Structure 1
Amino acid sequence: MKIIDNLSENSNHKKYILDMIRKSDELFIASPYLMRDFNILFNNEVLSGLKKINLITTLQPNSIDQIKKVYSLKSLIEIPKIKSGEIECKISLNNKLHGKIYIFKNSSNYVGGLISSANFTDSGLYINHEWGVTVTEEDGLNELENSIKNTIEPKFEILSHKSILRLLNHLNSFINANGEPDDDDIDLDLTEYLETEGAEKKKSESNGGGGSYRTYEYKITKQYLETWQNFFNEFVEFKKKNNEVTVPRDYENRSLYTWYRKQKIFNTNGTIPLDHKKKLEKVGFYFGDGHEIRWARIWEENYELLKAYFDDYGNSDVPHTRDKNDTFYSLGNWVAMQRTYNNQEVLSDYKIEKLNDLDFIWSKDLPEFNPRNNQWMDRYQELKEWTVMHGDAHVPQTNPDGTQNKLGRWLNDQRHLKRKGRKKSNGTIRYLDGERVDLLLELGVDFDHETNKHIDSFEKQLQEFLSFRYQYPVLNPPAGTFKKERDNLAQWRHKFDKLPEWKQKRLKDEKIM
């Protein structure tokens, strides 16, 4: 047994795993969390000897983990050697998975394994303080691997790569309607759209290679036909009562939801009785994906909110703020997402036309964002009032109670634009407009305020140390005294090569280093 940790660059999880992969032709990973982009770690040199990858992870319904996981899995299956089939890649799910296990084989023989606290992420492999122990006993590794595999539900065993790619479409539709989620809990269950390789193959064979829906083996039985009208009547009442044409999975009457699903499945595989279909169509039954209706409704609701904003303010430029308590926080996020999806060319013509009716601004780089637009000038006026009240233009980014100071964050954004700029979609850098710079300078804004504050803080530490050294030239004060000064010296010595040049120069000038 050997302990693996991340406390040094020479013995961290990343180095151990990469070294073991180079000795193996088969890799087994069980990890709840995954790195966003596998290409960062899995280059051609690392994968040169691999023939098989088995990955077990999670895809938790109604959680933000799904968003990250889809992009992660996509990056894995689109690695050239995996996409071409040169490396067999099997992906399975276990939503109760918590342990992190790495097992390595060569020619079906176990090369070694690792049981660890480290997820297969950048943080887990070499940033966080994580510990793991190696395992070399073949019987133990075989038992461990089989134990993990046996916990996988059949419907989540060896997922189809096609279904993983299809998740992106559902994910984009969800985000298009709701914006990028910030909270852990979201109303989305992507596991509904997953297919195993076996189910995908069976479906493809039954449909002549086409089709994209699940077709559970429901059968039209005598009992089904006898009870159909009663369920139909119940559905009509449900529709009137809830103003909905889709029955949710968690509906209190599970039998009605099952009946509802059967109508869609029988329609997809062409076995639905014609009289049933006519009745369903007459009452507005929706045979497509029910989420699409919900997301379309949410989009329209947000559009109406934007229209009300346009009517009140005369524009559709809703501020995009990080403050969740801001009145326009959700609407601002939604507006920003419409720009993003338009840039990605996934926004429909219908939505584009509707937004254009509200003079929607598709790019912040357009001329209408001149130095004196209303929003910027409103913030400028706030800053002007601050300087009159406080005598300076150094607005803190947080309030005394710990909440975010919106004016302080805005001012920090202006400093960032002046010093570093912001990259535009065409690759060029946009800096703070010269007229705005002049206006802020008139109020006494120090665009290097944070840097100067840092310099002042360092200089104060330096002077305190010099005073200490003057009193004790050989740096041997009584025990328990001058702890701060001695700690600062230790840090300067330890991190000297990584300090900014101006700090190094000051330390050398004072003959501290």
Structure 2
Amino acid sequence: MKQSRTSWEQNYKALADYIEEYKNPSVPKSENYKSLYSWVQYQRKAYRKGTLATHKIRKLNSLGFVWNSFEEKWEYYYQILALYKMKYGDDFRKQIAKENESLNEWIRSQRRAYNKGVLSLERIRLLERVGFMWEATEENWQRKLNELIEYKKKYGDTLVPIEFKKNSALAHWVLAQRYAYEKGELSQKKIKQLQGIGFVWNVFEDSWDRNYNKLIGYIKKEKINEISYKVSGEAVLNRWIDVQRKEYRNKILSRERIDRLEAIGFIWDPLEVKWNKRFQELVSFKNQNGHTLVPFPYPENKSLSLWVRKLRNDYRKGKVSLERIEKLNSIEFAWNIHNWKWGQYYLALKEYVKINGHPLVHWQEDKELSSWVIRQRTAYKEERLSPEKIKMLEDIGFVWSIKS
């Protein structure tokens, strides 16, 4: 079917006029549009073969051209179904059964595809949006309910996953019941039947409660007072715990859930709890030793020794918050070990001058202090002593040269 440029443009215009008039790109196979219908089919064939020019594809796309005839047929019947629903309301099914056998057959084909589990979720949602009923009779509904009862006996719940390959139709049916319930379209009789077997209407709410109760079980089993970190060997529960902390930080966790979690000792920021624990250990160390110079290594508390070392490194890199700096300064934390030790020796020398009236410490009196004094003179001669330290020493009458 070779077409001239003029012929193609004429048919394109005819299609554009048709779409403009009927607001639908699907040309029917009728006597009135026989020629246009054949032309549309030829464009699809050429497109599949890759012989249709790019500029023609673009022009057809601009009209909303449907390249897949199967998709077109589905859309065609879906639109008719939607029109019946709009025109006849809840009686649309009866009306279709009376006067449109082709549409009725299409509806049956959708149910068959649904029951086989081959109908896409997108199409399921579109059909349910216009009130599509998957089960044609009450008998079919009861059959699915019995299948769900058997599922619960085997698996312990009614949470049939959408990817349940053994009975995908049951999974879709369960979804349909939830959807109908949300829309208020499920009868009280059916609601009672489903509730009688423990049917879960809100999967997300049920999942939250199940994980919450599992966490309580873990707390009781391990005899602990709080949840700071993760639960050993529980990957799913740990992911849930992470989600709660994330939602709390983002301020989207409900007040009710916050209260319930805090009531069982849930910790929102484990790292902050860990930091405060180490800080209290450091306070205890200072109370016992009179300073914050935790040795490294420190066998009595390896964790504290590592924490203090990392703290000083982070401080040098500017990674310690102002709030934490102030907290550590309140206990006179030694950020710079060398400066701290220098200050301690300086105070000892100042006290020595106060008692003896001069700074000339003899090594026989105090070997450590005497050695420190000698090191200050050496640093001064080598110009390694800061002006601030020079002034401090001179203020207490420090003698830079013994000869003088």
| TM-score normalised per structure 2 | 0.39
Mark the structure with the bigger radius of gyration.
Answer: 2
Q: Which has the higher helix share?
A: 2
Relative to total residues, which structure has the larger strand share, 1 or 2?
Answer: 1
Q: TM-score scaled by structure 1?
A: 0.32
Bigger RCO (CA 8 Å, 6+ sep):
1
